[in-house]
Amino acid sequence: MDWIIIGLAFTTFFSTLIGGTIAIKFKKALPYFFAFASGTLIAVTFFDILPESLEISESVNLPTRYIMITIVASFLFYSLLEKYFLIHHHKEGEGHGHIMGPIGAGSLVIHSFLDGVAIGAAYRVNPAIGLVVALAVIFHDFTDGINTVTLMLKNKQHLKNAQAFLLMDAIAPIMGIALTSLIGISQIILSLILAAFAGEFIYIGAVNLLPETYKNPNWKTIFTTIVGVLLIFTLTSVI
């Protein structure tokens, strides 16, 4: 592993931390972060995660139907999971944060890890391609940092827990890059993992976060959601 890839790894680290720190510092603007996060999660699913999953599955002759089944299964799983914990949450009272916060933030951590894997794998094939992928991931990780903190705070998690997940999300790409220097990862497994993320992020973005914007029905929240979509569209167009 040379100094360039190490530098890229730590740039993703700081990009994520900066995004999350902004979300923490401006907590009064959380409704707009909810709107932004819903837009970015839905957009990153359809502009990045799902196309990548389909592209990989095609390269290994994995039927597209398996990808779609995984997406639907993931969506239903997280829907039922939240319904279960919502019932449990109301029975236990309001003293504890909603479990969907750590679940959503934890998935973003894994997604960031896979972003690191993508950087490392692309760099091993062609350093120039690796740099392009890294540039897109670095900017994307800024929004990941915002989304990680937003999901935790939206689900009534303590600030310290949000900061802990933010740190894990920042470290994850470094671990992914390091892993690709040691071992590979099955393309079939990777395509199914990405499909599972697609189902989950559609659920979190459309069902968990987007309804929060309805509590502040003004042009600013709508505009912020659109900005999130356009930002991810722009970043994913770089690759």
Encode pLDDT of 190-226 as tens digits.
888 888 888 878 887 888 778 777 777 788 888 999 9
* Centroid of chain to Cα 101: 13
**Looking at the predicted structure, is the pLDDT value of residue 67 above 90?**
yes
For tokens 């973003």, what's the residue? 108
DSSP state of 215: T
Chain segment 99-151, per-residue pLDDT in tens: 777 888 888 888 788 778 877 776 765 676 567 567 667 766 787 888 888 88
Alpha helices by DSSP H, the chain = 3-25, 30-44, 50-59, 64-92, 100-125, 127-154, 159-180, 187-203, 210-213, 219-238
Domain boundaries, the chain: 35-238
**Looking at the predicted structure, is the pLDDT value of residue 64 above 60?**
yes
* Centroid of chain to Cα 201: 7
Q: Tell me the one-letter amino acid at 98.
A: H
- Nearest Cα to 10, choosing from 171, 149, 219? 171
CA distance linking residue 20 with residue 123, whole number of Å: 27
CA distance linking residue 107 with residue 65, whole number of Å: 23
Q: pLDDT-derived band of residue 95, with 50, 70 and 90 as boundaries? A: very low
Q: Once rounded to an integer, what is the mean pLDDT over residues 229-236?
A: 85
- The model's pTM: 0.67
